[in-house]
């Protein structure tokens, strides 16, 4: 079974600062994918970034990057130059290639950007 742990229930960051959201995972699968989603107060889950377990390079998408440390089973999201619009819930999720291929989510981190 897969498990995602996000240890930061809430974070407060000043605008324009970089922020790191922590995510650790547990799985016995060798092939899996790690995802980060953003959920504003409207409720829609917005896909941010993906990292495959066999990817050697850390994934980047604009201001988002994923700090993937496979041996430590961590997949932290880094947001550079935070903006007020980044205030939202952030979820880390994983999906195994075989077996039950459902997305398993962490409990989320509520990020608040202060002006």
Partner 1 sequence: KAGVTQTPRYLIKTRGQQVTLSCSPISGHRSVSWYQQTPGQGLQFLFEYFSETQRNKGNFPGRFSGRQFSNSRSEMNVSTLELGDSALYLCASSLAIGLETQYFGPGTRLLVL
**Strand pairing class (60-61; 46-52):** unpaired
Q: Does 91 bind partner 1 (CB under 8 A)?
A: yes
Total residues binding partner 1 (CB under 8 A):
26
Residue written as token pair 């997305």: 103
Q: How far apart are CA 34 and CA 46, in angstroms?
A: 14
Shortest separation between residue 20's beta carbon and partner 1, angstroms: 21
Per-residue binding string, partner 1, 31-70, x by CB under 8 A, is xxx-x-x----xxxxxx--x-x------------------
Q: How far apart are CA 10 and CA 34, in angstroms?
A: 21
- Nearer of residues 28 and 115 to partner 1, judged by Cβ: 28
Residues 14-33, interacting with partner 1 (CB under 8 A): 31-33
Q: How far apart are CA 106 and CA 85, in angstroms?
A: 22
Q: Please answer whether residues 50 and 33 qualify as being in contact, where contact means their C-beta atoms are separated by less than 8 angstroms.
A: yes
The one among 30, 101, 112, 114 contacting partner 1 by CB under 8 A: 101
Q: Does 11 bind partner 1 (CB under 8 A)?
A: no
**Strand pairing class (24-26; 32-39):** unpaired
- Which residues bind to partner 1, rule: CB under 8 A? 31-33, 35, 37, 42-47, 50, 52, 91, 93, 95, 97, 100-108
């Amino acid at each position: 079974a897969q498990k995602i742990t996000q240890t930061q229930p809430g974070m407060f960051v000043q605008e324009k600062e970089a922020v790191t959201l922590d995510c650790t995972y547990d799985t016995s699968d060798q092939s899996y994918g790690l995802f980060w989603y953003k959920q504003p107060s409207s409720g829609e889950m917005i896909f941010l970034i993906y990292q495959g377990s066999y990817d050697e390079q850390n994934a980047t998408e604009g201001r988002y990057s994923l700090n993937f440390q496979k041996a430590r089973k961590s997949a932290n999201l880094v947001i550079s130059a935070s903006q007020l619009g980044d205030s939202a819930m952030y979820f880390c999720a994983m999906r195994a290639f075989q077996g039950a291929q459902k997305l398993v989510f962490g409990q989320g981190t509520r990020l608040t950007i202060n002006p």
